[in-house]
A and B are shown apart, each in its own frame.
Chain A
Amino acid sequence: MQAAGVVFLMSLLVFSGVFLIGDPVEMLIAEDAEESDREMVKRNLGLDQPYYVQYLRFVAAALRGNLGDSFVFEEPALLLILDRMPATFELAIFALLLAIVIGIPLGMWAGLKPESISARTIMTSSILGFSLPTFWVGIMMIMLFAVVLGWLPSTGRGPTQSFLGLQVSFLSMEGWSHLILPAVNLALFKLSLVIRLARAGTREVMHQDYIKFARAKGVSRSRIILVHVLKNILIPVVTVLGLEFGGLVAFSVVTETVFAWPGMGRLLIESISTLDRPVIVAYLMIIVLLFVLINLVVDVLYSVLDPRVRLTDVKG
């Protein structure tokens, strides 16, 4: 119920927002087109109608699952976005995996031996991960790995194969070589975040009574770390990463632009510059749904990780 309310409110906000900027016809039309052509394009796109009519038409169509046709491509906006979604998800998932697989061990290490030189190095590097702009890091990575060393391609997505009905590129070596740079670029920020969360969590957990008790009981050190500590620091990490994953998908715009990755982020940024309103609106609607969904998944994961959390409300 609440989610439906959010979606409705969002549709109103987004639609009004894009309605206020500029005139899409000016962006589409050839510069030597005459006024009569202009009027015709306007009519075709339904832009000659007043605002509320346009909105009601949009809502009516949206309820039937049609989010409108792109002004630029004259194809359904939803299909355009879904077409690009696998590319973005692929990138985001690999970035997230990188962040977890590298970030948690590093963070735990830094939390277990906070005074060691290696821990200090890790923490200092994570500051860089936070503070360097994605755009700049992306360009530098291209310069180093593609231009100077020539190890990896600088741009685009590799060949794709069909996997569960989706077009993916991680099944071939060439696909991987295209995926690595943008995924690392996108992961850097999250990686730093995971390191910091894991470190803080580890330091806190290590001083808890149950760890001390486990140790006193003679439980092996590796079991303490891998079971007791890891499980307990995962809760904040999952919360934050869940929300951050939405961010990764929705706003990988910068990475996609730098690496010419054919994902949804680039579609969004190009749609904004050409004022392709249906695509902008459809995109943001999808993102809203995505966030609602992710929140749900995070809640479920909680209950798995921490049995004290129940999905049903506690009656007071």
Chain B
Amino acid sequence: MNRFLTRAALGAIAAIFISSAAMADNATLGIRTEPSSIDPHFHNLGPNNGMLGQIFGRLVEWSPDMRTLIPRLATSWKAINDTTWEFKLRTGVKFHDGSDFTADDVVFSFNRADNYVGGNSGFRTYTKGKTVKKIDDHTIHISTKAPYPLMPNDMATVLILSSDAKGTGEKDKNFGVSARDFNNGSATIGTGPYKFVEWKKGDRIVLEKYAGYKGPLAQPWDKMTFKFIKSEPSRVSALLAGDVDLIDNVPAEDIATLKKNNKVTLSQGVSSRVMYLHMDQFRDQSPFVTDKNGKPLDKNPLRDPRVRKALSLMIDRASIVKNVMSGVAIPAGQFLPEGFFGRSQKLKPDPYDPAAAKKLLAEAGWGDGFGLTIHGPNDRYVNDAKICEAIGQMFSANGIPTKVVTMPGNVFFKRANGGPKSDPEFSLILVGWGSGTGEPSSPLKALLATYDNAKGLGAANRGRHSDPALDKLLVQALTMVDDTKRGALLAQATELAIGKNYGIIPLHYQVNTWASRKGLKYQARADERSIGINLIKDK
């Protein structure tokens, strides 16, 4: 009441307060990262995939927790033989401009994504080597050369646009529809539950409900406004001031205070992202491995799996989760948290056991210890620099004097990755990996398969781990269409690569936190997307 009087007294200024609170069916979301484009095939990036999935449809959609695939534009799918998948398409679906959705649109979109010119890493990873054929208006066949079990997972990535989309771009480039045609809305015609209204770069994106929507997704709001607020304290205060209904990426240090605030609801969910250490496993003289006095060594202890295991046992994961991550993380022993497909039931997070670590080091001939430097980014993951420091201290306390060096991601990743012409620069790094396919073949392929530029394997194998037995298992798993058998093979590969050989040392899975005003809640997404259709009323 008081507040109302104050406003009335302020006369004209009060007019400002006709905000989201007054019109219950509009939602305003304060999110950290702005998409880089409205073109669905331009950039395979979390914020883009999240935002655009509300405007355009995919054949298949992940459930928010990424445990199950939901039929979206496809109603069913099956492998009709070893190398061909059949997708049945939903009937009666209409694009935002009223035209019918048919197999032609799928073929068109697939080809546009596959042949995309320009852009920043599109979806070729998911379209490469696949041929889409229209059988009838509502049936397509997708074929590959070798058996390809991940077809439904891959179809949860490429967004479908109308084959009638007209643009102003060059005729032979991206079918004449350029990113700019999407950014200004003229070509932004999808089948999703929301229509594109406007994008004011650096400020907001506005979407409105599509009355003719047909499909499995909810439409909880009439209008959704996404505001981009990069600064953490500003995002939190925007929520507290009632200017937005939801914020994402709640800073870990604010969670405790917000929990006590009875005007705020917190929603949390474990993400498919694992934080891990990668170690130089290919050089005999590793640049940042030294003796205890800082002199270079002619032998690289990190090549010995026993040493890597010893390092893992020196890490007190529970303490990192509690003290560094303010409790919003879960200790990890493999690539994906509980409940995901292809996970090993045997692997558990390593306990903190300095005695066993010492014994292993002695066995490996490094009982006197050695010197290390841990490198990591300081602006890429939640508390990344602090995790590096904690690990540095734990190693140092257990006879491995460790220096900690962190740097901005834009400098770190180039040096950590190396490439066809240069080797990765560091000896031990902290990085993270979110599995886009919701199962462990993506990290196994990228992080631990032997680095092979031509085959596209080990693209993020920054320690150049290499194990022929693993490579063989992986090939088997990647072509095994039978789900049960593939799951077992993936679990077996994980047990070999992490449980036995410690190709990487998993630390924890990030837990993501969203905060909404009381009366609303967010269906936490394992893929870390912040989208309006998962913001729902709390009963």
Contact = CB atoms under 8 A, between A and B. Distances in A.
Nearest to B44: A30
A147 B44 contact: no
B119 to A, nearest CB: 7
B121 A33 contact: yes
B202 A32 contact: no
A31 B434 contact: yes
B51 to A, nearest CB: 14
Interface of A: 21-24, 26-38, 41, 44, 71-75, 80, 83-84, 87, 139, 142-143, 146-147, 149-157, 173-174, 177, 257-260, 262-263, 266-267, 270, 272-275
Contacts of B42: 74
Given A75-B179, A80-B201, A139 B234 contact: yes
Contact of B202 (A22, A23, A262, A274): A262
Contact of A26 (B45, B242, B414, B433): B414
B135 to A, nearest CB: 30
B216 to A, nearest CB: 26
Interface string B18-57: 0100000000001000001100001111000000000000
B229 to A, nearest CB: 4
Given A35-B420, A266-B202, 5 more contacts: A26-B414, A30-B125, A73-B36, A151-B6, A156-B203
A263 B203 CA distance: 9
Interface stretch (B9-17, B311-319, B508-516): B9-17
A173 B296 CA distance: 67
A65 B408 CA distance: 32
Nearest to A39: B420
B240 interface: yes
Interface string B429-441: 0000110100000
Given A35-B453, A75-B180, A173-B13, A28 B43 contact: yes
A27 B409 contact: yes
A73 B227 CA distance: 18
B442 interface: yes
B241 interface: yes
B213 interface: no
B483 to A, nearest CB: 21
B231 interface: yes
Interface string B207-240: 0000000000000000000011111011001101
A184 B37 CA distance: 33
Contact of A150 (B3, B36, B43, B419): B3
B48 to A, nearest CB: 10
A14 B7 CA distance: 50
B120 A150 contact: no
Given A31-B434, A73-B37, A155-B244, A142 B413 contact: no
B351 interface: no
A28 B240 contact: no
A155 to B, nearest CB: 4
B250 to A, nearest CB: 16
Nearest to B18: A174
Contacts of A75: 179-180, 183
29 contacts: A21-B410, A22-B411, A22-B414, A28-B43, A28-B120, A30-B436, A32-B125, A33-B44, A34-B459, A72-B36, A73-B36, A73-B37, A73-B183, A74-B179, A75-B183, A142-B241, A146-B238, A146-B243, A147-B240, A152-B16, A153-B243, A154-B243, A155-B227, A156-B229, A156-B243, A177-B13, A257-B231, A260-B234, A267-B202
